[in-house]
A = this chain, B = another copy of it.
Amino acid sequence: MTDWMDFLNTHQNRFESELLDFVRIPSVSASSEYSQDVENAAAWVSKKLKEVGVENVLTMPTGGHPVVYGDWLHAGKSKPTILIYGHFDVQPAEPFNLWDTPPFEPEIRDGKVYGRGASDDKGGMLIPILSFEALIKTTEKLPVNVKFLFEGQEEIGSPQLPKFMAEHRNKFACDMIFSSDGLQWTEDEPNIVMGLKGLLGVEIKVTGPKGDQHSGLHGGAIANPLMALSQLVSSMKSQNGKILIEGFYDDVAELTEEDRAEISKVPYDEDEYINELGVPELFGEIGFSTRERLWARPTLDVNGIWGGYQGLGSKTVHPSEASVKITCRLVANQKPEKIFNLIKQHVENNTPTGTRSTVEKLAGDADPFLMPKSHNASKVVKDILADVYGKEPYETRLGGSIPIMTIMLNELGVHGTMFGFSLGDENLHAPNEFFRLKNFKRGQIAYCKLFESLGLA
């Protein structure tokens, strides 16, 4: 047994107790009521980093919730510098009455820590700190140079982070990034995330007459903005799920045979999925499997539509205007700005006779994220996962966007590797969130192996 493994075994009870302490801090970033608790969580992290020997620990202001930084850079210039990411803020815990035990009074039952943030991401972000501790306490050094970046605003979309990262590029400069905020596939099956989607939101408004009109007096004479909007929205997608905006697919990185093979390896029960969502059948872009569409093809979804009378019964109004909100999930190598311009052009070209339209870009766009084929950090992580689980990891992608991953890519020029040990069934944003202690320890082992492995390179 290695020294660090011995250390992990010896101190596991203390580590669990530290996790409980950490979860006790109600660091809900979404509510100003908990601002001081987010600060307290930052202070807790800062203290813990100092205790284990991380140097230059700083709580850095962002204009919102703070960032905690720390480093240990004594492995030598020939060794890589890695940046480890995590977040100490948590989702709101409401509704409290659905929790079996209070969200901020964590307890261990059946090998699981129950409490808000136990899995997302307090358990996750504590793991690399504990691995750091195990190595430095047993070998007095780390095999690699390490920087830590822990934020307190992930659950509200990291609004201050783009500016903050741009201002501190040098401080966070690194060769590789590992995010502790990630998922494995099941208890026995590892997983590595190879891609995330980007995001673009637009709001389109179609206007007709200057005010609402009487549908009997004017209905046959003028275009109806609600019908016009329906025609406009409908013009964006074919009946077989293809997006019809000219040029929309031009920059899409096409799936290779290898990509498709990797995706098809991941277990998937279509009937169960249909049942879970309660839909009559699945539907999407023709020519691709459901998983391919979810993970690797861009989408165009209507998020909201409104106009005219929405109350009970009938009102014979010919409304003045109608609006729609649309978001596109983008894939490499689409750019939100270019897609916005294509949509704008499409709306201009397809606005029905007798109406006017406007298109507005909504805040919160994100670039897509796709791991390059020969990405060193991912290869190392794959090997470690195979070692720890005794099984090759699946290569998956996510249909959602994780702003921090694209922020780090944009500002530091590094594709981060998600290397976290939570599972999707751990009620991450729901009551009774929990984290498996088995994975808490498995993660510590995995991060020790990661440090070692990177030190050999």
A-to-B contact residues, CB < 8 Å: 197, 199, 201, 208-211, 213-224, 226-227, 229-231, 233-237, 239, 273, 277-285, 290, 293-294, 297, 299, 301-311, 313-319, 322-325, 327, 329, 352-356, 362-364, 398-401
Contacts and interface: CB of A to CB of B under 8 A. Distances in A.
7 contacts: A214-B400, A215-B303, A217-B294, A221-B290, A222-B277, A230-B234, A231-B234
B304 A305 contact: no
Given A316-B303, A316-B327, A294 B218 contact: yes
B278 A209 contact: yes
A278 B320 CA distance: 10
A324 B314 CA distance: 11
Contact of A239 (B231, B306, B313): B231
Given A197-B216, A230-B231, 9 more contacts: A199-B216, A216-B401, A221-B293, A227-B302, A234-B234, A303-B319, A305-B305, A310-B323, A313-B364
Identical chains bound together, number: 2
B216 A400 contact: yes
A435 B327 CA distance: 54
A233 B227 CA distance: 7
B354 A220 contact: no
Contacts of A237: 227, 231
Given A303-B314, A314-B327, A279 B216 contact: no
Contacts of A284: 220-222
Given A314-B362, A362-B314, A222 B307 contact: no
B220 A313 contact: no
Contacts of A215: 299, 301, 303, 327, 329
Contacts of A280: 354-356
B219 A299 contact: yes
Contacts of A234: 227, 230-231, 233-235
A307 B301 CA distance: 13
Nearest to A270: B221
Contact of A293 (B199, B220, B239): B220
B210 A277 contact: yes
Contacts of A311: 304
Contact of A294 (B211, B221, B364, B399): B221
A132 B324 CA distance: 58
Given A303-B315, A314-B201, A216 B362 contact: no
A31 to B, nearest CB: 18
Nearest to A222: B279
A203 B117 CA distance: 44
Contacts of A210: 277-278
Contacts of A277: 209-210, 213, 218, 222
A362 B313 contact: yes
Contacts of A223: 279, 283
A181 to B, nearest CB: 16
Contacts of A399: 216-220
A318 B310 CA distance: 20
A220 B304 contact: no
Nearest to A225: B302
A415 to B, nearest CB: 19
